[in-house]
Chain A
Amino acid sequence: MPLRGLLNSSLLEAGGFRQVADPYTGALVVTIPAIRPDWAVVHVHECDAEGNSWIDGSRYDDVLLAMAAGRVLVTCEKIVGRDRFVEAPQRAAFPGFMVEAVAEAPGGARPTSCGGLYAYDRAFLTAYLAAAGDDAQYRRFLITQVCNL
């Protein structure tokens, strides 16, 4: 994909991004190779059993992630009926045929935020940060705080 900018940045070399001449103007343009993840896992507000997915408010890069990935897993706050999408198809951020599997997982974005429903969990993330520097502490953190064992 061609991109304006990035010419002054050391990221150009660090990322190994190559330049091509714009065939219309001759100007050098940075190009970025496609990223093709095997999987994207996207958490949405609502989806139906086919994977038609509704994101409330800002979508950020979630749609792009789903379109780029080989296969898509959707987790959602709530599974709804297909009729919710049929009556207003513009609600779907991406269609179900792109989606491999769905799972209802209320609170599934935690400790990060889910727009309009819950904010990021600052205390949890601070605890993670404190634990992450040390393997034993981090293992204990995973067992007690993530797996709730």
Chain B
Amino acid sequence: MSLTVANQMTVSLARLLKNGETVFHGVASPLPMVAVLVAKRLQAPDLIYLNITGSVNPQPERLPESTVDPALLKGTAALFELKDVFDLAARGGLNTVFLSGLEIDRSGCINMSAIGPYDKPKVRLPGGAGSAFLMETASRVIIWRTKHDRRTFVEKVAFTTACGTVDRVVTPLAVLRRGPDGLEVESIHSYSNPDEVRRETGFPVKVSGETAVTPPPTAEELAALAAVDPEKVRLFEFRTS
């Protein structure tokens, strides 16, 4: 089952990427890494792929589970370090950034900081890294999260780590987009259903039998996934321990 989910999420992320745009992902981002490489093989060969290791359009020989691994430097002709990525975003040159959040709310804001008071939290979360900056400077943000439940998708985040240019949210159950009233369900994956999405989302969503079904991975997309990620690193984020 988790391979079905990982494949659906990865191709859903890949389909959002456009040819020629400049895309960045940070640490702990196996799904975006695979999605970018799949998109480059399919509809976006001229996409400029930046990541936290500082590589530009790398051609890794094997995909690492950790996206800070120097395997992601392989094939780059120049180093474009994190500070350079931030400067690029600040001057308006970064098109798409992949981010995630422990909590994601209806407005598309994320919490990566704390549950409970910030100075004396009940749970201290890992921190937002550059998300508070990138969500206001990158042209658009794509959020992915390998859990879709009421603890994750909340009416209002307990702490607003970052808020801004969220375009889409890809989850194990659905693809959400930002509409005039906040996040709305764009399509539900073929193996899920409106009831499950409604039940697992902590804010009201309009879903019905009329809601679009996310197209399952095509043969071409599955072939690209197999070519890019033969060791199935995309499953890493679904491990429980």
- Which A residues are closer than 8 A to B by beta carbons? 3-11, 14, 56-61, 64, 113, 115-116, 119-120, 126
Contact = CB atoms under 8 A, between A and B. Distances in A.
Interface stretch (B17-25, B68-76, B144-152, B204-212): B68-76
A16 to B, nearest CB: 11
Nearest to B69: A119
B56 interface: no
B136 A5 contact: yes
B81 to A, nearest CB: 6
8 contacts: A4-B133, A5-B136, A6-B132, A7-B136, A8-B160, A14-B118, A60-B68, A119-B69
Interface residues of B, number: 31
Overall SS of chain A's interface: loop
A58 B53 contact: yes
A4 B136 contact: yes
A11 B81 CA distance: 24
B159 A4 contact: no
B66 interface: yes
B136 A6 contact: yes
A8 B136 contact: yes
B57 to A, nearest CB: 16
B135 interface: yes
B13 interface: no
B137 A5 contact: yes
A11 B110 CA distance: 12
Contacts of B169: none
A8 B70 contact: no
Contacts of B119: 14
A8 B135 contact: yes
A9 B66 contact: no
A11 B70 contact: no
Given A9-B160, A11-B113, A58 B79 contact: yes
Interface string B127-162: 010001111110000000000000000000001111
Contact of A64 (B83, B132, B161, B164): B83
Given A10-B161, A11-B161, A119-B69, 13 more contacts: A4-B133, A5-B132, A5-B137, A7-B136, A8-B109, A8-B132, A9-B132, A11-B113, A14-B119, A58-B68, A60-B68, A60-B81, A120-B66
